Amino acid sequence: MRKGICYLVLKTVNIYLDIDGVLITKKGKPANGLFEFLEYVTGNYTCYWLTTHCRDGTPERAVEYVNKIGGIDKELLEKIKPCKPWATFKTEAIDFSEPFIWLDDNLFEGERRALNERGMLQNMEYFDLVHDPNQLVKIMAEMKRKS
Ligand SMILES: [Mg+2]
């Protein structure tokens, strides 16, 4: 059973956000609760894009990609910072010296190893919106409860 990310939520925490399969479903629809989630996390945490749409460390493509689903305040998306450029594994872009949560629907073996050798496997929240369409809503509720 997963411990839940809630116990990791400290006063200041970085949130690394994947897009496909986390913010947007595989069918191209906004995940349930997306608008409220973006408003909440960008208002309370430092957020970073951690997605192939921002692999080179420039945020514009990620912003445009999410913005095109419509109905989102673009200013919220522009609050999300670009992560460091990464080549093979997303964990290259994570600052392990600061508390963080990483939301993603995919975890490569090299990434699992990078987290595990630091004892930080629980900092990654594995998303499966097909199995649980309300996962984003639940995460936000957990974060609000613990903040
Ligand atoms: Mg993804």
Question: For residue range 91-133, what is the model confidence (pLDDT) as tens digits?
Answer: 999 999 999 999 999 999 999 999 999 999 999 999 999 999 9
Q: Output 9 or 92, whichever has higher pLDDT.
A: 92
Q: Over range 36-50, report the average pLDDT.
A: 96
CB atoms near residue 33 (< 10 Å): 18
Instruction: Quote the percentage of the chain above a pLDDT of 90.
Output: 81
User: So where are the chain's domains?
Assistant: 5-146
What's the 30 CA to ligand 1 centre distance in angstroms? 13
Task: Give the per-residue pLDDT at 13.
Answer: 86
Class of domain 5-146: alpha beta
Cα–Cα distance, 9 to 24 (Å, whole number): 23
| pTM confidence score | 0.91
What's the 2 CA to ligand 1 centre distance in angstroms? 20
Per-chain mean pLDDT for the chain: 91
Instruction: Quote the percentage of the chain above a pLDDT of 70.
Output: 92
What's the 103 CA to ligand 1 centre distance in angstroms? 9
Task: Give the per-residue pLDDT at 70.
Answer: 87
Question: For residue range 64-86, what is the model confidence (pLDDT) as tens digits?
Answer: 999 999 889 999 999 999 999 99
What's the 102 CA to ligand 1 centre distance in angstroms? 11
The end-to-end CA distance of the chain, in Å, is: 23
CB 127 within 8 A of CB 21: yes
What's the 6 CA to ligand 1 centre distance in angstroms? 21
